[in-house]
Structure 1
């Protein structure tokens, strides 16, 4: 008797399709599949759009969110002006968002580095300097690896948290932090991902975190630099963006020369 594998993939439900390739509703399998794909994609896009609209409303009207954003910009700007940097940490998809914000901040001359919380406990804590600011991304605010890291952070290190929590008292990330060194950047979503998509995959939550950290990066860049676009051009010589920067620079040089000749 042939042996069967102990491990089998879960069965995938199949549509009711006749031998002629027509469904019970009278449409072809290709048409039915195409409509399903488009419907799913539009549902995801609309759900994430609605979450971004809710985030905009929150920061437009909520004093906790507004104070958090202002304080975060002030603290990061002070760190950078004192020779420090932003140390960003997160796990899983939140960690990927963290890596993206590090890249964005560095492109604006806002010195940043990514710290994996597990690696931090195995020696990478040494990257944290006296003038640094910590930015943590965790939707739940209960990520085990992040909670394990917190006791080993310098007590006076300013801690910014991008999380679903909308008030400091409910966020356990700040329980052991000194007063005045805790900054909350609320990033909730109006409908859970399980309710929206039937699975707790980071989708809406990471979209909101990405938008909020992008907003933070641009706000800090404008606080630190008179013209962030010039700084960005200097740090981005490669790719299509770099080529456009060269053309813009040449155009500016020609314009200036023309003015001088006149």
Structure 2
């Protein structure tokens, strides 16, 4: 039986815990997403194939947490769906190779001021074609100089590399190059970004917002039960107060 090896998550955890450029890139990505949200923009996640499936999930996470997001299929983008990308938005590409032709075809048609964040297997922005032509900040390619430390900086037009490393190729792990480990790591890093952003925006209200946006399924049933319990307790308290008040009037 094949399973995702524990080293898969350990490699990315170690990188984001110990690499200064990678941690800086993550902090800048958090700041960009937060700024886009403040300007009523959206996180537009773009991918195709298995990375596209991951992208759809990564678009769903921020939406459930109160941050506007959507998914853009790379092949459909150049057939009219680019209208989904507005000037206040950001593009989040999901591509382990970072060089899928369909994704590269999207870039020339995106406004220069739209920030681009790339979840990819590349460790260095200089080797990632999806960041070509962008002023990369946060990684080895952008040690400051992008204005990211200045007050009021919103990250318009920049590129950010968020590495999604795996400890060994999928061919070595499973004898087949199917996107498995790489897809799992990309989803974990993307969800980490979404959760951190929503914590920064909403603080302690994050859980309440998620429950509000998720009224269906088992999660929704638990929320309804909690609300019903609170409502029932409130009604019972009001009833007791009414009885006490009536007894006081009669006396």
Please, what TM-score do these two structures have when normalized by structure 2?
0.82
Residue 160 of structure 2 corresponds to residue 183 of structure 1: yes
Alignment pair present for 1:162 and 2:119: yes
After TM superposition, give the deviation of residue 249 of structure 1 in Å.
Answer: 2.4
Tell whether 2:110 aligns with 1:153: yes
Measured after TM superposition, the shift of residue 236 of structure 1 is 0.8
Matched with 2:184 is: 207
Tell me which residue corresponds to 1:13: none
State how 1:72-151 maps to structure 2 within 5 Å.
72-151=29-108
Task: Report the RMSD for the aligned CA atoms in angstroms.
Answer: 1.9
Give the CA deviation at 1:131: 0.9
Map of 1:66 onto structure 2:
23
User: What is the CA-CA distance between 1:168 and the residue it aligns to?
Assistant: 1.5
Unmatched segments (≥5 aa) in structure 1? 1-39
Q: The residue matched to 1:191 in structure 2 has which SS?
A: coil
Match of 2:200 among 194, 203, 223: 223
**Is there any run of 5+ residues in structure 2 with no aligned partner, and where?**
137-145, 147-157, 242-251
C-alpha change, 1:120 and 1:225, in structure 2 (3 Å) is same
Offset, 1:258: 8.2
Q: Which residue of 2 aligns with 1:233?
A: 211
* Count of aligned residue pairs for this structure pair: 219
Q: Aligned with 2:40: secondary structure?
A: coil
SS at match of 2:63: helix
Q: Which entry has the higher C-alpha Rg, 1 or 2? A: 1
* CA distance in 1 between partners of 2:230 and 2:129 (Å): 52
User: Residue 155 of structure 1 contacts residue 178 of structure 1 at CA under 8 Å; is this kept in 2?
Assistant: no
Is contact 1:150–1:173 with CA below 8 Å preserved after alignment?
A: yes
Q: With CA pairs under 8 Å and 6+ residues apart, which has the higher RCO, 1 or 2? A: 2
Partner Cα separation in structure 2 for residue 168 and residue 255 of structure 1? 56
Q: Which moved more, 1:252-261 or 1:67-76?
A: 252-261
1: CA distance, partners of 2:7 / 2:206: 30
SS at match of 2:54: helix
What is the CA distance between 1:172 and its match in structure 2?
1.8
